[in-house]
Amino acid sequence: MCGCGIRSLRYLVESKADFVLANDANESHRRVILDNLAQVERLEGEKKRWIVTHCEANRILTDCYLQRDYFDYIDLDSFGSDSSFFLRAAFSSLKLDGLVYVTSTDGYSSGGHRPFHSLSAFGAYVRPMPYANELGLRILIGGAVREASVLGYRVTPLFSYYSYHGPVFRVLLRMNRGKLPEKRDYGFICYCNRCGNSQAVSWDELGQIRCPCNNSTKDAASLVVSGPLWTGPLHSGAYIMEMLNLAEQWGWVGKDAGTGLEKLLKRMLEESDPRLPFGYIKLDEVASRAQTNTPSISTIMSSLHKEGYAASRSHIAHNAIKTDCPMAGCIRIAKKIHGC
């Protein structure tokens, strides 16, 4: 999974890691990995800084567990949805309060195009919804929540990141002892194609799902349901703030640095508002339903704030907002902005 070893090198140099085990199952990468890591003196014995292995990920993680050699931090960076197959072994070999950084590059599953594949990989049956890329993060977290609960652990996301290049879904999770939450944060998401409304559905509400706009069985066909998956917050606001402060100390943000990282972290901080629900609303969809031109993000957010709603930009979709205002309210505000 370590590829050419550059990220392993960054953990040693930039994060000042005491020790890094870099593993990639493809042994043909060994020379490149060794050449890259050689920039940091390896040392020997208890002072050894790094080693390189070429085992199947579950095997190396299980070996560490059997030797009671637990990690503080594990980065599972594989292609497709393969990370889900290594989660249980990763949690078993992680220290309590440790961190797991999981990955998926499976955009088809998050888009609802391969529901049975997402079911086998993440335990979630996913249908097409307008905020598919956020679903990609939520099914990844949900799969981790399920696997951790089997071992008697509870995981919470510290930050969740989506990049269109790939696409790449990345989530940093903290693990502690605990049980699967009964009615919070792990359930189902329902979207109504007719009115655009979304709602979270708990396990005991299955079979009773309806949208306020539906008055008949025929209308109920407009509802699509995905899950089970993570319905709680994608980020920890306190952790994002720590990251931002650390980035300032290291000179990664500020007037002498680029604006990309600072912009991303501040947007994630906005997304951490506890009032904001799952999903996001695309302004083009609002305009289509309101039959108006697409309002600017700043204008509609200002209007939402004036009416007492929470609203933020989304780091996942540039022309979308996260808000606790329902679609009907967004349509009304869009019409008001354009004098309709």
Check whether 80 has a pLDDT greater than 80: no
Q: Centre a 10 Å sphere on the Cβ of residue 176 and count the other Cβ atoms it contains.
A: 12
For the chain, helix (H) and strand (E) counts, in that order, are 12, 12
Tokens encoding 293: 């031109």
Q: Is 43 helix (H, G, I), strand (E, B) or coil?
A: coil
Q: What percent of the chain has pLDDT over 70?
A: 97
Domains of the chain (ranges, CATH numbers): 55-230 (3.40.50.150), 280-340 (3.30.56.70)
143-190 pLDDT, tens digit per residue, is 999 999 999 999 999 999 999 988 999 999 999 999 876 667 999 999
Check whether 66 has a pLDDT greater than 60: yes
Check whether 215 has a pLDDT greater than 70: no
Task: Please count the residues of the chain.
Answer: 340
pLDDT score, position 133 = 96
248-299 pLDDT, tens digit per residue, is 998 898 877 777 999 999 999 999 999 999 999 999 999 999 999 999 999 9
Tell me if 22 sits within 8 A of 1, measured CB to CB.
no
**How would you classify residue 226: left for phi > 0, otherwise alpha for psi between -120 and 50, otherwise beta?**
beta
The pTM of the whole model exceeds 0.85? yes
pLDDT score, position 84 = 83
pLDDT band of 45, cuts 50, 70, 90: confident
pLDDT band of 195, cuts 50, 70, 90: very high
Tell me if 46 sits within 8 A of 78, measured CB to CB.
no
